[in-house]
Amino acid sequence: MPDSGGSIRARNIHKYFNHGEVKALDGAGINLRRGEIHGLLGENGSGKTTLVRCIAGMTRPDSGEILMDGIPAARHNRSKVSGKIAYIPQHPRLVPSLTVQEFLHLGMNPAGQGRDEAAGKIRRISERLRIDLPLATRGNRVPANLVTATMIVEALLKAPDFLILDEPSTSFTPLETENLFSLLQELAAEGMGILIVSHKIREVRQLAHRLTLLRKGKSIAETEARDLSLEEISRILMGTGDRAAELTPSSPGGICLEVRNLSKRSRESFIRNISFSLRRGEILALSGIRENGLDCLERILNASVQPDSGEILMAGGTPYPREPERIKMAGIAMVPSDRLESGAALGLPVMENAAVLVRKELSRYGILGEKKKESYTRELLSEYGISAHPRSLTSALSGGMLQRLILGREILSASGLVILCEPAWGLDVKGRLEVYQRILSLRDRGAGILLLASDIDEVLEIADRLLVLYNGEITAGFQRDQFDHGRIGEAMLGICGTGDGK
Amino acid sequence: MLNSVLSIAAPLILAAVAGYLPFRAGILNIGLEGLMALGAFFGFIAAAASGFWLMGVLAGSLAGAMAAAFFAWTVLRLEANIFLSGLGLNLAAAGFLGIASQMAFGTKGVLRPAILNTSRTFPPDHGIIPVLAAGFAFTALMLIMSKTRWGHRVIAAGEAPETLENLGHPVKMVRLQTLVLSGIGCGAAGALLALDIGAYVPNMTGGRGWIALVALYIAGKSPLGLLATVLLFSAANATATVLQGMTGIPDSLLLASPFFITFLGLVAAGALRTLAESRQRRKERDLTADEVRG
Amino acid sequence: MTKNRRILVISGGILLLLGLVLYVSPKPLEALTDLFTDPLRTPFAFGNLMATAGILTLSGAGIAVAMTSGSFNLGGEGQAYLGSLLPVLLLLALPGAPPALMIPLGLAAGAFGGSAMGWLSGIMREKIGTDELISSYLAAGAVIPIIDYLIAVPLRDPDSYLLSTPKIAEGFRLVRLLPPSQLTSGIFLALGAALLWWFLSRYTLMGYELRLSGANPRFASLSGIRVSRYRSGGMSISGALCGLAGALMSLGVYGAAVQGGTGGIGWNGIAVALIARYRPALILPAALFFAYLTQGLSAAVMASGISNEMGLLLQAAVFIAITAGEAGKGE
Amino acid sequence: SPKEAQTEEAQQEAPGAVGSIAVFVPGVVAGSPTYEMMVEGVEAAARGKSGVEVSVVEGGFNQGEWLTKLSSLAASGRYDLIVTSNPAMPEICAEVSRSYPEARFLVLDGHIEGNPSIFTFRFNQREQGYLAGYFAGLVAREKQAEGTVKVGLIAGQEYPEMLRSIRPGYQQGAEAAAGTAELDFRVVGNWYDAGKGSELAGDMFRSGVNVILAIAGGANQGVISAAQEAGKGVIWFDSSGYDVAPGTVIGSTRIYLDRAAREMTLKAIEGELPFGSAESVGIAEGYITFITDHPAYTENLSQELREKLENHLEELKNGSVKVQE
Ligand SMILES: Nc1ncnc2c1ncn2[C@@H]1O[C@H](COP(=O)(O)OP(=O)(O)OP(=O)(O)O)[C@@H](O)[C@H]1O
Ligand SMILES: Nc1ncnc2c1ncn2[C@@H]1O[C@H](COP(=O)(O)OP(=O)(O)OP(=O)(O)O)[C@@H](O)[C@H]1O
Ligand SMILES: [Mg+2]
Ligand SMILES: [Mg+2]
């Protein structure tokens, strides 16, 4: 590992929210050197995002010290350090009305760089990332993985000294993740300092040279990556080993969702002639690259668009709801993939988001007091290990906590059909395990669970059956005993196809 | 008729262009009206004192810019509510102008060149100047928003402030710039209004700032839509003026017509858009059907 | 900037203005005492304070309801104006009918007029996607001159030089509580409406669903809530409350529909709603505060020789100061 | 300053019937010549008497608020006399006097009889409209020898006195001067939008109007601007307007509201104002006239036209001709 000497040191950082009620950082610190890949690990809500935002100058710590190359950064704000420290946030967003091309020019150093020169640079960097950016597409039409890719290209255009990535691979396919990681290794070798936040401990441990572990806002360890085993890391982080969910064989019952010859073409993506059926008591996963049909299917299932042809039926042949309002009335539990937009009202208190599905049960003659909502919410919060007050704003939740809240809310009131889109996004190891356990017990109680996920690892852990979507069509199907990481990955990329696991 | 449409539209276009920038950057500047009033007052005084209309425009713009910077300070620094603070800007402008006029000229009423001991009048064909200014401002807006990096930054400040901040451009700075520019534009609009009349009349902006705001909202993000809305409103106004001369229609009833016509235009535009969307949807469906068959 | 410094800056600004008032006023002490005590000094002034506060409570609640349901009602001014005209027309047409029946009918007519305008904007949004903020503003802009005309020409009281309709029969007027002040039994209606809105919003399923629809319509509809119904419903209720405020003006204060008589209700309602930050429990105090401020200023202006303009400056300072320090959450 | 005035009052013990006066302006003073005259007149009267204090209170444009504001003036009990001016004010004063019978009102430019708290002093606005119309008719006829002439009138808003007195008087006067005259009457919608005033006037000039009577407050300035551009004439109302735009304002009527305010206030101070009664004045009484002694008038108009106008004015003054109601 070439060490060119420079570094960012953050020491004893404190950051409080809500007038000191929430301690996000309570003496955290990190030491990021040039030329290294540094992993930042921690439970949901442990303060990872807050810490990296402080380092990137997006948030100002309440106290503590940040040194760049040994010099105290007097006013460490974003506009000062943006040329040196690039930052890819946990939920990256492009500018909806600007094309990717326009976006990439936004942040460039105005001095020098003619258009051609800039275009050449953009091309070279995206080639290194092995990704084709849709340069002429407007920001609101760019799929999630390409948003992250665009942000990374943008960041690298400035040739920063340090690169910080907050859970960058959540929206990536395995191949994209692989490409990203090898690029990061090259960059580190060239002398860039890289800080990566992730819940995928296995991956990070392989990639990173050194690790910092965070618990409850404190840095509890900073070590060479190979000095700690996976088990040790998980034990240090949350006192459990990295176990897999305990799988029991499924015993499928009657059909609860039947999709026949479904086709839909829209500007972003399309599906063609999709048919499958889901039985009670089983977990069926549909997997693939999101814009290869997964997102289109999700939009049809949450009734925000209508299919062009084909039909969807539920148990007993009743048609699937065609209006969003009717989904919940039809007894379907659903976790959407865009949690911020469809999953919660971020501007309202946590309890208003938690109690929404049981609001009718909690109320009497149309009267619904706050106490009832609050006590219901307290239960949900403790059950799912969410550290938040029922009355605090939902927007203050960390990424993983928000996901737990949404999952918990939906699973608690689920019975028949359950549709889960990317359920493990942003969850830490422990949270994932807990959620899988709950999904399995839901299945064992006779619910039919449809899993839409682009992350194969997730799918492999709990699905009973797996269908692969490629280019809008179902190209392969696998039963649990046929699961094979490599073959499934190839099917997702359209390299091969097998059987039909219908 | 075209002449009157253009002369009604010119100050409105200037004000609307001025409002467009902060609007796009995520700050609705409710204070356009007050900024225009300040521009009218200072623009008139400077022009009458110097005898050059251009001085008036400069002074009006400067006054607008300073007031807008104050507004920016309240919303960006003190984090006051944008709507209330904008309302406050309008009230403060009205109050300030009354007091200033009283202190400097001994009256809160109409100011004519004579009050500054000059009998200078402004060039007789001055009516063309606001039109040229509006045309220039609009063209500049189109170019800036579509071609320049700064224009794109304005859009980013409105649509994805976090992201812009992350790229190293302080959002507040961009917003401040757009607000100051809006002050300059409104100040110039007010000054031209006063120079066109050759006098300063308290309240002479007569709600034009509010109308510009409505036009902004109707047009949304599209500068061309903004131009169309302002022209539609001005044409409705000019028509009402002409119709007042003909018997039969109650005069004060015609005053409702610009709003009414704009309202109808809005309904028509909405209906057309809805229709077009459903047709588009049908077309897409046909496409897939063909493909499925084929 | 820290919160404390912010407060310092703001109070500094207001003090500076007060100093200016003292400096320019020929009777500085009277100006100051009038500013702070006038609304409470006499039963007459107190009655007017309460009456204004009541009316602002209605329009403020109206704006807040719309805002909570996710719409911006910028047409409160026109809704109130229509709400002040319709009941007068009804009561003028049936002068002999029993007041016990006609007064509630009249109030209902006012609410209905405002509500119809709000509903129009709501339905336009639903059917053709027109922003209700614009359509409500334009509708008001069109309606106001038409009513101006109706009052000034065809409906005008031929025996009066005021631009106003003939007066309704004495029996139809709301009961005056503190004559000759403007305080009428309408205040109970306003209090009732504020209380009802507070209760609805906090303790009912409907209020919960309304709030969700406003906060995130997409999420709300995925949760099984009929969002469009709540949105146009919110605009209708908002219009009804503004219309009711207008009706209180004509049936309580004037006993007739007066040209420009509702001037400012809609706009000031927005200010009240913003000051209250749309919180149902704060609407009433915010309306009281606003009424106190405007009335104190107007008293100081009238009695103590400080100019109208000075009053405007002070009001502007208060507007800016009232929300400073709270991160701007409005549009 | 008022403080000194107070000490003076303490020294000099000569209290009249009236010690302090409120002038209630239903609108704002700035830009309204009649209100300026009222304030001037009252202050002139008070200046002559020691110990009389005058406060001017502006009621603003919302006529709905006038009653409340006037009531609070009466309720304060600080004023021995409230002076105001506007045809709408008598009924409002009457309403206030029901709750505050001890308050006394002097209302100019309005009329009510029999209320023991109120004295009114009315000007015959129809006559003033007639004078302006007569002049307009003469000017138009001079430009166009044959056929129907067109004369213009721009008002800020439509209000009763305008519709009932001024407009018909103006039309009547124009017909008296020109034989047949068509009136082009337009409304700005407010009292300040000079741009709109200019648009309206420009359109009127284009459609053949040669002269416009402007009664639109600040918006008059727009009428002047349009007239300058078109090379046409403007008539001013209520106060002398020649100096506003010499050469463009070619004629001006005037009411002596300042004089009336001064005289009636003086009477009230002396305790001689007969509250409960009313007075009405017009051209014959010398309270309304056409200003003919300004250079701008003599220089811009033909000898013949001036003679016709002045002769008719004389007939109206001595009562040999009367304006038909
Ligand atoms: N803006 C905010 N306001 C209030 N509380 C906040 C805010 N941002 C973060 N927090 C709180 O600070 C704590 C740390 O949050 P942070 O987002 O840094 O966690 P994280 O480690 O990134 O978690 P995750 O893995 O779920 O993304 C959490 O309890 C969170 O609720
Ligand atoms: N600048 C102004 N400020 C306030 N009000 C005005 C102004 N100009 C006109 N008005 C209003 O318009 C009405 C008529 O205006 P006009 O110019 O004829 O003055 P006036 O002769 O005093 O009116 P009136 O004959 O009604 O007494 C008045 O009632 C007055 O309230
Ligand atoms: Mg995080
Ligand atoms: Mg008059």
Chain C residues in contact with D100 (beta carbon < 8 A) = 180
Per-residue model confidence as pLDDT tens digits over B188-203:
999 999 998 889 999 9
Average pLDDT over residues C170-178: 90
- Put residue D138 in one of left, alpha, beta given phi > 0 → left and psi -120 to 50 → alpha: alpha
Pairing of strands A309-314, A473-479: unpaired
Which chain C residue's Cα is nearest to B271?
A: C128
Residue partners of C305: CB distance under 8 A and separation at least 6: C25, C26, C27, C31, D55
| Beta carbons of B252 and D188 less than 8 angstroms apart | no
Ligand 2 centre distance from Cα of residue B4 (Å)? 28
**Ligand at shortest distance from the CA of A346:** 1
Q: What is the pLDDT of residue A267?
A: 64
Higher pLDDT, D6 or D317: D317
Q: What is the pLDDT of residue B77?
A: 87
Q: What is the pLDDT of residue B241?
A: 85
Query: Residue D257: helix, strand or coil by DSSP?
Result: helix
pLDDT over 80 at B249, yes or no: no
**Ligand at shortest distance from the CA of B108:** 2
- Class of A7-238 per CATH? alpha beta
Q: Nearest-CA neighbor of A331 among A342, A340, A320, A346?
A: A320
Q: What is the pLDDT of residue B202?
A: 92
CA distance C202 to chain A (A): 7
What phi and psi, each to the nearest 5 degrees, are found at residue B21?
Answer: -60, -55
State the average pLDDT for chain D: 90
Which of A6-10, A141-145, B135-139, C197-201 is predicted with the least confidence, judged by mean pLDDT? A141-145
Task: Grade residue B69 by pLDDT with cuts at 50, 70 and 90.
Answer: very high
Check residue A188 and report its DSSP letter: H
Cα gap C143→C145, rounded to integer Å? 6
CA distance from start to end of chain D:
47
* Structure token digits, residue A125: 């960097």
What phi and psi, each to the nearest 5 degrees, are found at residue B233?
Answer: -60, -40
Cα gap A490→B227, rounded to integer Å? 54
CA distance D315 to chain B (A): 34
Inter-chain CB proximity C152 and D1 less than 8 Å = no
Q: Nearest-CA neighbor of B181 among B222, B227, B140?
A: B140
Ligand 2 centre distance from Cα of residue D32 (Å)? 6
Q: Which residue has the tokens 């009283």?
A: B102
Per-residue model confidence as pLDDT tens digits over A460-481:
888 999 999 888 889 889 988 8
Higher pLDDT, A109 or A171: A171
Higher pLDDT, C299 or D216: D216
Higher pLDDT, C158 or D214: D214
Average pLDDT over residues C138-156: 90
Residue partners of B10: CB distance under 8 A and separation at least 6: B130, B131, B133, B134, B192
What phi and psi, each to the nearest 5 degrees, are found at residue A366?
Answer: 80, 0
Average pLDDT over residues B227-248: 84
Higher pLDDT, A479 or B293: A479
Query: Residue B111: helix, strand or coil by DSSP?
Result: strand
Residue partners of A148: CB distance under 8 A and separation at least 6: A88, A92, A168, A171, A172
Q: Which element (helix H / strand E) includes A479?
A: strand A473-479
Chain C residues in contact with D160 (beta carbon < 8 A) = 156, 160-163
Ligand 2 centre distance from Cα of residue D29 (Å)? 10
Query: Residue A69: helix, strand or coil by DSSP?
Result: coil
**CA distance readout (Å), C295 to A238, C50, D69:** 62, 11, 10
* Structure token digits, residue D12: 């000099």
A vs D contact (3+ beta-carbon pairs below 8 A): no
Average pLDDT over residues D162-183: 95
Q: Nearest-CA neighbor of C81 among C243, C236, C189?
A: C243
pLDDT over 90 at C309, yes or no: no
What is the residue extent of each domain of chain C? 52-295
pLDDT over 50 at A2, yes or no: no
Cα gap C236→C249, rounded to integer Å? 20
| Beta carbons of C70 and C122 less than 8 angstroms apart | no
Per-residue model confidence as pLDDT tens digits over A485-499:
778 877 877 765 554
Preferred mutation among B244, B253, B254 to probe D, highest tally of D CBs within 10 A: B244
pLDDT over 90 at D287, yes or no: yes
Q: What is the pLDDT of residue B274?
A: 83
Inter-chain CB proximity D203 and B245 less than 8 Å = yes
Per-residue model confidence as pLDDT tens digits over C114-129:
999 999 999 998 888 8
Question: 10 Å Cβ neighbour count for D207?
Answer: 13
Per-residue model confidence as pLDDT tens digits over B195-231:
988 899 999 998 899 889 888 877 888 899 999 989 9
Q: What is the pLDDT of residue A495?
A: 67
pLDDT over 90 at A387, yes or no: no
Which residue type does C123 have?
A: I
CA distance B152 to chain D (A): 36
Which of B86-95, B198-207, C36-45, C147-156 is predicted with the least confidence, judged by mean pLDDT? C36-45
Cα gap A100→A138, rounded to integer Å? 6
Q: What is the pLDDT of residue A339?
A: 82
Ligand 1 centre distance from Cα of residue C322 (Å)? 30
Query: Residue D238: helix, strand or coil by DSSP?
Result: coil
CATH hierarchy code of domain A242-331+414-501 = 3.40.50.300
Per-residue model confidence as pLDDT tens digits over D11-27:
443 446 778 999 999 98
Task: Grade residue A353 by pLDDT with cuts at 50, 70 and 90.
Answer: very high
Which residue type does D243 have?
A: D
Average pLDDT over residues D250-274: 94
Q: What is the pLDDT of residue B290?
A: 47
| Beta carbons of A308 and A265 less than 8 angstroms apart | yes
Q: Which residue has the tokens 């509903």?
A: C119
Task: Grade residue D28 by pLDDT with cuts at 50, 70 and 90.
Answer: confident
Strand order in the sheet with A218-224: A85-88, A162-166, A193-197, A37-42, A210-215, A218-224
Atom of ligand 1 nearest to the CA of A47: 18
Q: What is the pLDDT of residue A3?
A: 44
Which residue type does C234 have?
A: G
* Structure token digits, residue A433: 């395990």
Q: Which fold has domain C52-295?
A: ABC transporter involved in vitamin B12 uptake, BtuC (1.10.3470)
Residue A387 CB less than 6 A away from ligand 1: yes
| Beta carbons of B25 and B176 less than 8 angstroms apart | no
pLDDT over 80 at C173, yes or no: yes
Q: What is the pLDDT of residue C327?
A: 46
Average pLDDT over residues A357-370: 90
pLDDT over 70 at C230, yes or no: yes
Average pLDDT over residues A373-394: 92
| Beta carbons of D59 and D26 less than 8 angstroms apart | yes
Strand order in the sheet with A63-68: A22-33, A7-17, A63-68, A71-72
Residue A17 CB less than 6 A away from ligand 1: yes
pLDDT over 80 at A312, yes or no: yes
pLDDT over 60 at D320, yes or no: yes
pLDDT over 50 at D55, yes or no: yes
Residue range(s) occupied by CATH 3.40.50.300 in chain A: 7-238, 242-331+414-501
Per-residue model confidence as pLDDT tens digits over A420-473:
998 888 888 888 888 888 899 899 999 999 999 887 777 788 899 999 988 888
Chain B residues in contact with A102 (beta carbon < 8 A) = 152
Pairing of strands D249-255, D233-236: parallel
Pairing of strands A71-72, D249-255: unpaired
Transcribe A213-228 into DSSP letters: EEETTEEEEEEEGGGS
pLDDT over 90 at A55, yes or no: yes
Angle formed by the axes of helices C308-323 and C280-304, to 10°? 160
What phi and psi, each to the nearest 5 degrees, are found at residue A484?
Answer: -150, 120
Q: What is the pLDDT of residue A5?
A: 59
Strand order in the sheet with D278-281: D53-58, D20-25, D81-85, D105-108, D118-123, D278-281
Average pLDDT over residues B56-78: 95
Chain D residues in contact with B238 (beta carbon < 8 A) = 199
ipTM: 0.83
Proportion of chain B above pLDDT 70, given as a percent? 89
Q: What is the pLDDT of residue B247?
A: 63
Task: Grade residue D8 by pLDDT with cuts at 50, 70 and 90.
Answer: very low
* Structure token digits, residue A377: 């919410």
Average pLDDT over residues B106-114: 87
Chain A touched by B167 (CB under 8 Å): yes
Q: What is the pLDDT of residue C326?
A: 57
Q: Nearest-CA neighbor of A307 among A274, A284, A334?
A: A274
* Range D117-120, long-range pairs (CB < 8 A, 24+ positions): D117/D93, D117/D275, D117/D276, D118/D90, D118/D93, D118/D94, D118/D275, D118/D276, D119/D264, D119/D268, D119/D273, D119/D274, D119/D275, D119/D276, D119/D277, D119/D278, D119/D279, D120/D90, D120/D278, D120/D279
Cα gap C153→C165, rounded to integer Å? 9
Q: Which residue has the tokens 């907050």?
A: A166
Residue A385 CB less than 6 A away from ligand 1: no
Please state the three-class secondary structure of C14-69 as a single string: HHHHHHHHHHHCCCHHHHHHHHHHHHHHCHHHHHHHHHHHHHHHHHHHHHHHHHHC
Higher pLDDT, D283 or C293: D283
Q: What is the pLDDT of residue C130?
A: 83
Ligand 2 shell residues, CB under 6 Å: D 26-28, 31-32, 34, 86-87, 109, 125, 156, 159, 161, 191, 215, 217, 238
Which of A36-40, A425-429, B100-104 is predicted with the least confidence, judged by mean pLDDT? A425-429
